[in-house]
Amino acid sequence: MRERKYVTMIDPFQIKYSKTVAALMVIPAIIADVLWMACTLMALGGTISTILDMPYVYSVVLSAAVAIVYTLLGGLYSVAYTDVIQLILVFIALWLCVPFILLNPIPLDISLTAFNHTYQPPWTGRVETQDICKWLDEFLVLSIGGLGFQCFHQRTLACSSAVTAQIICFVSAIMSLILGIPSVLIGAVAASTDWNQTDYGAPSPYERGEAYGILPICLQYLAPPYVSIIGIAAVAAAVMSSTDSTLISATSMFSSNIYKNIRKEASDREIQWVIRIAVIVTGVVGTSLTFLDNSIMGLWVLGADVGYCVILPQLICVLFCPVSNGYGAGAGYFLGILLRILSGEPLIFLPPVIHFPGGQIIDGVYIQQAPVRTVAMLFTLLCVLFFSYLFEQLFRRHVLPQRWDVFGVSHTMAPKLDQASSIADGETVTMMSPSDNSALESSQTKVEENTRL
């Protein structure tokens, strides 16, 4: 994608298929970005409200306002430069907080509680046999589902070269693992703590249903006050880095792949105002979602679900499968979404209509144990390839008239034998009668048209 100098990940759909298909792909991409923004703002709001005792609403609104303002003022440049500072701050601050929490005398040694039941069950946990497929499904969603996010691709597409983009991807993968270690250690300490000996009191955060806020809780009750402030800075930096990226991501797709297609004569100044308005609208919608649900992990999984099930298979086909076309993309888009909806989603209280094998009924609701997200992703991929090949054959064999070919599949087919011979004939005419200008021009035009066919 970097070698072809795309601006957004939607560009290949617009170039290969059509503007209509590209507009369809923009919808789930923007939804995924908005969900991700809400997820990150909830993380910051929970941290600030827990440690500074500030109302949750104020902390979320203030954080969103800051991100929207500096994104409006600086655009992609402000996002790029502030991300460098924010990531450095995250790395230093998180690792600085870990020793203070580990050396607190109240928690037990995490190596002792890893496999032994002390105050709480072992923090390493265990995966039941019937849950293996479900865990693998969520692992794939959270690990490669990000490939369906414009937030990821806008970084690689902005690199100076394709090689630089590749290097950044590998370095980022390693850094993500390193940045995840402090969170694991803090979670292990929380599971090794007798919370009755702290000001937090019993029962534990897990038993109270507050496990989603374990980082700010540990910073407040197991670390000195000044360390808690540093921890807030780390979380705030991470949230700002993600929030401004989603703002730029959603607005770039809307302005480049939707608005410019509607108003082709739009000036640069008009596009700038469209981007500014889209940044504000996206920020307001993402902020509003933070007041609907308190599950950070739920919104994260839901956003990655959209990118994994809907966008990722389409992106694979448009980039690596020459047979794919607009018909297959449209069929896979709607059938894939339909299958995912019928499979149900407990995070949004959507009951399943299709019951995959291995599920169980809990409180009268059928809970899927099958990897429904991966099934939906593979189903979408196969639908794109199957219907693309089907419609190509229907038009090639003239089962369907070419006037119905709205995506121009018949114009991109390989030339047949009679077309190849006509190309050769045209070249012969050009060589044999150079003095006849009209014949030369007509033969050259014929060659060019047949070559395009």
Which residues lie below 8 Å from residue 45, measured CB to CB, with a gap of 6+? 56, 57, 59, 60, 63, 290
Asked if pLDDT for residue 211 goes beyond 60, the answer is yes
**pLDDT score recorded for residue 294:** 54
Q: Are 366 and 377 in contact (CB under 8 A)?
A: no
Q: Are 101 and 220 in contact (CB under 8 A)?
A: no
- When pLDDT is cut at 50, 70 and 90, the band that residue 440 belongs to is very low
Asked if pLDDT for residue 378 goes beyond 50, the answer is yes
- As a whole number, mean pLDDT of residues 274-287 equals 89
pLDDT in tens, 399-421: 888 888 888 776 654 333 343 33
* Residue that has been written with the tokens 């770039």 in this structure: 252
CA distance 37 to 235: 14
Task: Determine whether 428 is exposed, middle or buried from the number of CB atoms within 10 Å of its CB (0-12, 13-18, 19+).
Answer: exposed
- As a whole number, mean pLDDT of residues 138-166 equals 87
Of the candidate ranges 61-65, 103-107, 290-294, 303-307, the one whose mean pLDDT is the lowest: 290-294
pLDDT in tens, 18-29: 898 999 999 999
**pLDDT score recorded for residue 387:** 95
Asked if pLDDT for residue 382 goes beyond 80, the answer is yes
* Residue that has been written with the tokens 């072992």 in this structure: 122
Asked if pLDDT for residue 59 goes beyond 60, the answer is yes
Average pLDDT, the chain: 81
- If one compares 383 and 369, the residue with the highest pLDDT of the two is 383
**pLDDT score recorded for residue 12:** 93
- If one compares 376 and 71, the residue with the highest pLDDT of the two is 376
365-367 and 360-362 as β-strands: parallel, antiparallel, unpaired? antiparallel
- As a whole number, mean pLDDT of residues 360-377 equals 86
**pLDDT score recorded for residue 321:** 92
In the chain, what percentage of residues exceed pLDDT 70? 87
| pTM for the full predicted model | 0.79
